[in-house]
Amino acid sequence: MNAMEARKSRFFKNMFLSYCLIIILSFLIYSVTVIYEAAKVKENQAVKYYETKAQAFANGMDQQIYSAQNIITNLNNSSLINKLYMTVQMQSPVDSYLLYQVLNDIRYQKTAGDDFNITDVVLMMNNYNKVYTSDEVVHLSDRIDLSEWKTDRLAITDLNTSLNMNNSQLTFFKKYLIYSGAYQYGSGSQRGIICVLFENQKIGEMLKAASGEARGYAVYYNGKPVIKEGIEDGRSFKQTSQVSSAISYEIIADYSKFGFEFSDLGSFALIFGFLICMGYLILAYFFTNRYSSPFEKIRLLVGKDRKEGKNEAEKIVSGVVDLLGERNGYMQQVHNMSPYASQGILHSLILGSDGESVNKEFLTDFVQLKRVFFLAAMVDLYYGEKWSKDEAKKGVKAISLLAEQESDEEFKILSYKKDSTHVYLIFNSNNGERLEDKLYEFFDKMKKTLDFNCMVTVGADEVKEELEEISVSCDNAMLALEKILWEGRGAIYFHDPQSDCSMNYYFPKDGVKQLTKGMKDRDRESIRHFFEEIEKKNQMEFDNSVYAGKLLLSELYVTVAKAMQAVWDQCGIPLRRVDVCPSYRTMDEVIEYYSNLIEGLFIEVDQSEELREEYFQNESELIEYINKNDKNPDLSLTQIADHFSVSSKYVTALVKKRFGMTYLKYVQERRISYAIDLLKNSSLPLEKIAEECGYTNMLTFRRNFKAIMACNPSDFRGEKTAEEES
């Protein structure tokens, strides 16, 4: 019997159709399951992604609001601003030194937080015709009445609109994102308004980057939109601000991001399933042909050969022998084929808040993470304050080698160097319940492998399944490592999003004042008590969350920096930036770091005093130099400072201490005093008198003369002449 006849038989058709029906039904069930699961997985992934983006969006904007609130609070507590206000209220002239200090304080507040989105800080006092910014004093044509100020605390507008003015300066007519607050010293009544001006374009770029693939986003104040961009139609994800209950955020995602589409990864699973279905149909045809052929031969043996009159027994036996000879062909193994569905595409990996880009080698390693579950951790290596780069390099290399050695068929461990003392670890396995145990085992082996001088601490996130969450998981591991501040080193800390969100912490209200006084008095005991009070009260009375710890460290840094700069200013030492304490330090190490900075400041002040004594033992030498050269038009603070190798601020402080006035006012009064003598006792023209007194400009001479004598020099000479004649 030939093959074509076998395929035409009823047995072949029935068997093949049965196989086809089973395969097609299986494919339909598989397709429905894949589409349902793919849609469900995509929706869950999209929800997690946009929830993460909404949180990042809120955190980014909260940081801006928090910076603005800090600036407003610090200016409200500024004794310099209070002094300026009292001077204005008493209608006394504002001397140049106070003005210099006020502008410097506003400028410092603008730059202290390293928020590059802040363009300017504006201080406006009620019923006053001057506005103070970080760069200048703006003179207004009329006094401004701020009692009717109605602008929202957060709004996109310009100062002209807010003040109902038409000032031509860029600061006034350009639109900014303005965060405003009341100016009131201590708990007193409102004295004016402080506005923090954010650059619209930079804020927009920041929010757009934070919102990711969202179709639109918005920032609300008291339910009213302040910033609104993109398309409103879509699925909404909202977040409330952590720093102000009146502010809320929203990002809008396209509905298509939450449902199944044939362009998604699930379509590849469908295509793969279809190809497998076709393969099974081909196999079904092949095996149907092979299995049906013997039955056709048996039918012929029993039926057709009997008609031909041959020996029936011989024919049956002969046919069975032939069938047994073909048995090996029917005993071939069928290979199990199961579709493989990819668990996700790795879009990117962000290692921490410093913006470090990921290299290609690391991404190549990450493609190997094909198991279901993963756990992200970050290792902190601490060799003490005086560590060497060679030690750190050996430690990082040892961890990398240990990760390779500990990887096996069940667990894959990848390591990636973040910086000289921090290493990322990614544990990957199909057994999610064992990942944390594996982390503890690896932690113990790291401690045995590394140098005994090295203290190992690990921050870790919870076990996760989606590769797209590696970026967030690495960030969470970094946050968990911040627990070193209160918990200490040498342990594993896991990220707890609920307990880490508190922003409550203790810090003295007059911290800058306390620390500045202690530094100026060289009172090491009061400085030690200041730090101990912060440490003990936070440990005993607050929950010590990660975010609260970060805010506490930020405020502590600003306080130490301001106190040190106040001492530098008083001693005439040039100001400079104070370095922030390195990250991932215990509270004791933080206090030790800033205590060492303060001790260094004391040494620097002592050296500065020794230098001043070496250059001129008597301060009268500098005053005498000013008195001899006060009529020289080239005399200036810079020239005097260069001549005596001191800072300009030292000269200003010395003159202030000796005469109770600024350097500029002292020189002006001496020049005008000499001008009065010449007006009384000579007939020199006014231009010559101005020149003799050190003025190169008659307008400046007249203005300074009138400021001191309340009349013009020509009027003064006329009055004296009339008195002499009478």
Structural domains of the chain, with CATH: 9-303 (3.30.450.220), 336-494 (3.30.70.270), 510-571+587-605 (no CATH), 630-725 (1.10.10.60)
Q: Is 137 helix (H, G, I), strand (E, B) or coil?
A: strand
Q: How far is CA 575 from CA 121, 614, 630, in A?
A: 21, 22, 27
* 203's tokens: 């804020």
Q: For 346-369, what is the mean pLDDT?
A: 42
Q: Are strands 492-494 and 455-460 parallel, antiparallel or unpaired?
A: parallel
Q: What count of other Cβ atoms lies within 10 Å of the Cβ of residue 673?
A: 12
Q: Is 682 helix (H, G, I), strand (E, B) or coil?
A: coil
pLDDT of 50:
86
Whether 170 and 144 have beta carbons less than 8 Å apart is answered as: no
Query: What DSSP assignment string belongs to 496-513?
Result: -TTGGG-------TTHHH
- The owner of tokens 């029906």 is 21
DSSP 8-state assignment for residue 552: H
Which residue would you say has higher pLDDT here, 677 or 321?
677
Q: Residue 338: pLDDT above 60?
A: no
Looking at the DSSP bridge assignments, the partners of residue 405 are none
How far does Cα 38 stand from its chain's mean position? 34
Q: Residue 458: pLDDT above 90?
A: yes
| Residues found in the chain | 726
pLDDT of 320:
46
Least confidently predicted of 397-411, 426-440, 489-503: 489-503
Task: In whole angstroms, give the CA distance from residue 340 to residue 312.
Answer: 54
Residue 263 CB partners (closer than 8 Å, separation 6+) = none
CB burial of residue 174 (10 Å; 0-12, 13-18, 19+): middle
Q: Which amino acid is at 565?
A: Q
Whether 527 and 511 have beta carbons less than 8 Å apart is answered as: no
pLDDT in tens, 32-87: 887 777 778 778 888 888 888 888 889 888 888 888 888 988 888 888 888 888 88
Find which of 106-110, 165-169, 348-352 is predicted with most confidence, using mean pLDDT: 106-110
Which residue would you say has higher pLDDT here, 370 or 166?
166
Looking at the DSSP bridge assignments, the partners of residue 374 are 428, 464
Whether 396 and 423 have beta carbons less than 8 Å apart is answered as: yes
Whether 270 and 35 have beta carbons less than 8 Å apart is answered as: yes
**Which band of pLDDT confidence, cut at 50, 70 and 90, is reported for residue 330?**
very low
pLDDT of 366:
44
Q: Is the dihedral of CA 716, 720, 721, 726 positive or negative?
A: positive
Q: Residue 309: pLDDT above 80?
A: no
Whether 509 and 475 have beta carbons less than 8 Å apart is answered as: no
**Which band of pLDDT confidence, cut at 50, 70 and 90, is reported for residue 171?**
confident
Please state the φ and ψ torsions of residue 79, each to the nearest 5 degrees: -70, -30
Half-sphere exposure of 137 toward its Cβ, with a 13 Å CA cutoff?
15
pLDDT of 456:
92
Q: For 147-172, what is the mean pLDDT?
A: 80
pLDDT of 500:
65
Q: Which amino acid is at 352?
A: G
Task: In whole angstroms, give the CA distance from residue 383 to residue 590.
Answer: 16
Crossing angle for the helix pair 96-112 and 546-571, to the nearest 10 degrees: 150
Alpha helices in 572-710 (DSSP H): 587-615, 620-629, 637-644, 648-659, 663-681, 686-692, 698-709
DSSP 8-state assignment for residue 371: S
Buried b (16+ CB within 10 A) or exposed e, 312-343: eeebeeebeeebeeeeeeeeeeeeeeeeeeee
How far does Cα 573 stand from its chain's mean position? 33
* 611's tokens: 């230098």
Q: For 110-124, what is the mean pLDDT?
A: 81
Q: How far is CA 374 from CA 346, 424, 492, in A?
A: 13, 13, 17
Which residue would you say has higher pLDDT here, 357 or 580?
580
Task: In whole angstroms, give the CA distance from residue 489 to residue 482.
Answer: 10
Looking at the DSSP bridge assignments, the partners of residue 224 are 221
Whether 654 and 622 have beta carbons less than 8 Å apart is answered as: yes
Residue 277 CB partners (closer than 8 Å, separation 6+) = 23, 24, 26, 27
Task: In whole angstroms, give the CA distance from residue 29 to residue 180.
Answer: 61
pLDDT of 361:
43
Q: For 122-142, what is the mean pLDDT?
A: 87
Q: Residue 329: pLDDT above 70?
A: no
Q: For 130-145, what is the mean pLDDT?
A: 86
pLDDT of 219:
93
Half-sphere exposure of 316 toward its Cβ, with a 13 Å CA cutoff?
7
Strand order in the sheet with 422-429: 411-419, 422-429, 373-382, 455-460, 492-494
Task: In whole angstroms, give the CA distance from residue 378 to residue 481.
Answer: 7
**Which band of pLDDT confidence, cut at 50, 70 and 90, is reported for residue 5?**
low
Q: Could you tell me which of 682, 669, 681, 662 has the C-alpha nearest to residue 630?
A: 669
- The owner of tokens 């009172």 is 523
**How confident is the prediction for the chain on average, in pLDDT?**
79
